Amino acid sequence: MTDHYCVFGNPVHHSKSPLIHAAFARQTGEDIRYTARLAPLDGFALAVHAFIAGGGRGANITVPFKEEAFRLVPHRTPRAEMAGAVNTLVVTGVGIVGHNTDGIGLLRDLTLNLGCPVAGKRVLLLGAGGAARGVIGPLLETQPETLVIANRTVNKAKILARNFAHHGGISGCGYAELAGQSFDIVINATSASLVDSLPPLPTALFAPHSLAYEMMYGLGDTPFICFARSQGAEQCADGIGMLVEQAAEAFYIWRGVRPQSGPVIAMLRNTSV
């Protein structure tokens, strides 16, 4: 019997998740149906319970419901607990279990697809919102030399760093305090690129052979990517690989089969959808 999965969001019409999971299903031969569902801003919990009551086996969660999903589920994995957000739901015999696959999606893209190991590297994470919080734990698990969180509101960065201090070497600061420092990996987890802007970054931020990673995708050369290139970043990438890798992790959680992400990343890069 075909198992039904979906992605909840608002808006959700733009989501690439149905395309990605359809490709995974064809690749693995898994009998699933995956759809996008628009949840009312004030009716997310009702939408989830109705989906499960109708036989739904699992779901992905996108903006703006990841934190609400965290509060909704009775069981959460350690990664979800660290992130304070849930982006994957699984229906089990003990109830709904909440996972967060964003961090592992980023790490798999960095290390496997882009050939950029994180261990021993100096990592800068721009932004202190939900996108940043979801990847801090997995980044620290890889034992970078240092992880610095920089944010326009300095106190948010410092509080976030304190919350994760027991997981490894991490600090928080404002953008001005980055002057004189350089990093091997710079990850833009801010929403600045959505409005075609750039955080107020100092020059000389990128070490030799560095990687600039834009979490947003489908925006072309964002101001962050253009700045990184002008400052000598050796490699630049957007978040399409992270999107596919976090979906692959969710697929594996649901089905026990790990799909190949490479062909799906190539498909998305070569199409205009």
pLDDT tens readout for residues 142-158: 999 999 999 999 999 99
Give yes or no for a contact between 224 and 188, defined as CB atoms under 8 angstroms apart.
yes
Q: What is the pLDDT of residue 272?
A: 53
What secondary structure does DSSP assign to 60-125, as a single string?
EE-TT-HHHHHHH-SEE-HHHHHHT---EEEEETTEEEEE--HHHHHHHIIIIIS----TT-EEEE
pLDDT digits (tens, 9 = 90+) for 95-153: 999 999 999 999 999 999 999 999 999 999 999 988 899 999 999 999 999 999 999 99
Positions of the chain with pLDDT lower than 50, given as ranges: 273
Give yes or no for a contact between 66 and 48, defined as CB atoms under 8 angstroms apart.
no
Report the run of H or E that residue 184 belongs to, with start and end: strand 183-188
Query: What is the value of pTM for the model shown?
Result: 0.94
Considering Cα of 64, then 69, then 70, then 76, what sign does the dihedral take?
negative
Determine the distance from the C-alpha atom of residue 85 to the mean position of all C-alpha atoms in its chain, rounded to a whole number.
Answer: 11
Catalytic, 66? Answer yes
Which residues have a Cβ under 8 Å from the Cβ of 69 and sit 6 or more positions away? 44, 48, 61, 85, 86, 87, 89, 98
| CATH 3.40.50.720 boundaries in the chain | 103-238
**Right CATH number for 103-238 from 2.30.110.10, 3.40.50.720, 2.60.40.10, 3.40.50.1970?**
3.40.50.720
User: 49-52: long-range contacts (C-beta < 8 A, 24 or more apart)?
Assistant: 51/4, 51/6, 51/8, 52/91, 52/96
| Residue position matching structure tokens 């992790």 | 249
Q: Which of 16, 66, 121, 156 is catalytic?
A: 66
CA distance 127 to 133: 9
Domain 3-100+241-269 has CATH 3.20.80.10: no
SS3 16: coil
Q: What is the pLDDT of residue 270?
A: 87
| CATH 3.40.50.10860 boundaries in the chain | 3-100+241-269
Considering Cα of 213, then 195, then 135, then 121, what sign does the dihedral take?
positive
